[in-house]
């Protein structure tokens, strides 16, 4: 698809709110942008299992252990839907995975921070999954059908993730002075990195304009961030948590909460690989990938034999 006329027809389909499906004609750049963004999303879900997985054996009760185990398994499922959805664009999963393990593909900055106490698990559920819901509810309206449908399903599960985190945090915030301190400390550490999840300011976001024109994103990074802060201010107040931003103020004119300067130097340093846990996360994922090679080989061989058997029988 290259001619002016074809590009115009494609844009008309987008503007009419039609979904683009895998076998439809699409500009090469649209396909490339989707592969970049969807695979980054898939890698994030998989890397995102590490900070919480670290606490499964130390969850404070059987109930909390079961909830955390279920949540971490859900994240694996999200990664798998998203890799499958990316494969509908002609990408090979192995290439995508190897590009982030040994190449330059990105994953969400948020997973490069450590989980120091159990309160971090509560805060990941509340803030990180809360931010993911805001971002992915928008992506569930994306112009690319498989990505939109994957996000719809993911959001249903994220909603349980956020609720369990908020419920635990509310309990901790009304517990002993020590528990209250732990809860507040975790919020203080995760607040700014969570705001960074939405990406750079719109003025520094090279991809946003194109993605919005093609309906892949339907809201900008800043619009989503403002929406998220508005929701979190109320939720924090309801459980007696203070958000660590002295500049947080309600703006009567805009009807939104204004907030302070995001530490962008920290964001870019994490994105470039120099965050507190970047090396550790990549090391853990490489180890799992390399140690799991025999499982992939066995599954491929099993599938080949099944196919041969089915062909002989038909």
- Return the residue nearest ligand BYC (CB atom): 48
Confirm or reject binding of residue 164 to ligand BYC (CB under 6 A): no
Enumerate the H helices of the chain as residue ranges: 4-15, 28-47, 49-53, 62-87, 93-102, 118-123, 129-139, 145-173, 177-196, 208-213, 221-238, 264-269, 278-291, 293-313
Confirm or reject binding of residue 108 to ligand BYC (CB under 6 A): yes
Q: Which residues pair with 100 in a beta bridge?
A: none
Confirm or reject binding of residue 99 to ligand BYC (CB under 6 A): no
User: Nearer Cβ to ligand BYC, position 54 or 180?
Assistant: 54
Confirm or reject binding of residue 129 to ligand BYC (CB under 6 A): yes
282 neighbors 101 (Cβ within 8 angstroms): yes
Tokens of 301: 């061989």
Instruction: Report, in Å, the least distance between residue 63 CB and ligand BYC.
Output: 20
Confirm or reject binding of residue 150 to ligand BYC (CB under 6 A): no
Site string for ligand BYC, 232-261 (x = CB under 6 A): ------------------------------
171 neighbors 163 (Cβ within 8 angstroms): no
196 neighbors 189 (Cβ within 8 angstroms): no
89, 123, 169, 211: residue in contact with ligand BYC (rule CB under 6 A):
211
User: Nearer Cβ to ligand BYC, position 84 or 174?
Assistant: 84
45, 99, 157, 245: residue in contact with ligand BYC (rule CB under 6 A):
45
Confirm or reject binding of residue 231 to ligand BYC (CB under 6 A): no
Using alpha carbons, select from 92, 100, 90 the residue that is nearest to residue 45: 100
Secondary structure of 148-202 as H, E, C letters: HHHHHHHHHHHHHHHHHHHHHHHHHHCCCHHHHHHHHHHHHHHHHHHHHCCCCCH
What is the Cα–Cα distance from 306 to 129, expressed in whole angstroms? 39
What is the Cα–Cα distance from 257 to 158, expressed in whole angstroms? 24
Q: Which of 40-48, 90-98, 169-177, 293-301 is the region at the interface with ligand BYC (rule: CB under 6 A)?
A: 40-48
Total residues binding ligand BYC (CB under 6 A): 28
DSSP, collapsed to helix, strand or coil, labels residue 250 as strand
183, 208, 241, 281: residue in contact with ligand BYC (rule CB under 6 A):
208
Q: Which of 19-27, 87-95, 123-131, 164-172 is the region at the interface with ligand BYC (rule: CB under 6 A)?
A: 123-131
Confirm or reject binding of residue 203 to ligand BYC (CB under 6 A): no
Confirm or reject binding of residue 140 to ligand BYC (CB under 6 A): no
75, 99, 157, 245: residue in contact with ligand BYC (rule CB under 6 A):
75
Confirm or reject binding of residue 120 to ligand BYC (CB under 6 A): no
106 neighbors 100 (Cβ within 8 angstroms): yes
User: Nearer Cβ to ligand BYC, position 264 or 302?
Assistant: 264
- Binding interface with ligand BYC (CB under 6 A): 36-37, 40-41, 44-45, 48, 75, 106, 108-109, 124, 128-129, 132, 135, 196-200, 205-208, 211, 221, 271
């Amino acid at each position: 698809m290259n001619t002016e006329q074809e590009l115009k027809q494609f844009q008309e389909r987008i503007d009419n709110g039609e979904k683009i499906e895998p076998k439809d004609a699409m500009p090469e750049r649209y396909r490339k942008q989707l592969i970049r963004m969807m695979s980054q999303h898939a890698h994030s879900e998989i890397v995102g299992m590490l900070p919480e997985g670290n606490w499964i054996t130390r969850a404070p009760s059987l109930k909390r252990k079961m909830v955390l185990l279920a949540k971490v398994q859900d994240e694996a499922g999200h990664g798998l839907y998203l890799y499958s959805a990316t494969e509908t664009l002609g990408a090979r999963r192995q290439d995508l995975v190897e590009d982030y393990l040994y190449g330059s593909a990105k994953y969400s900055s948020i997973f490069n921070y450590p989980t120091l106490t159990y309160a971090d698990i509560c805060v990941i559920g509340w803030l990180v999954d809360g931010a993911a819901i805001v971002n992915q509810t928008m992506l569930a309206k994306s112009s690319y059908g498989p990505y939109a449908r994957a996000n719809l399903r993911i959001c249903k599960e994220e909603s349980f993730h956020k609720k369990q985190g908020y419920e635990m945090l509310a309990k901790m915030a009304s517990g002993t002075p020590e528990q209250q301190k732990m809860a507040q400390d975790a919020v203080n550490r995760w607040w700014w990195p969570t705001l960074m999840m939405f990406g750079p300011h719109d003025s520094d976001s090279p991809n946003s304009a194109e993605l919005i024109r093609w309906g892949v994103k339907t809201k900008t990074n800043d619009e989503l961030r403002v929406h998220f802060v508005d929701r979190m201010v109320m939720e924090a107040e309801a459980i007696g948590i203070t958000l660590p931003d002295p500049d947080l103020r309600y703006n009567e004119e805009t009807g939104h909460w204004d907030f302070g300067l995001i530490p962008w130097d920290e964001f870019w340093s994490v994105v470039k690989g120099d965050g507190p846990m970047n090396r550790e996360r990549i090391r853990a994922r490489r180890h799992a990938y390399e140690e799991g090679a025999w499982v992939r080989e066995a599954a491929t061989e099993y599938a080949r034999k099944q196919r041969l058997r089915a062909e002989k029988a038909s």
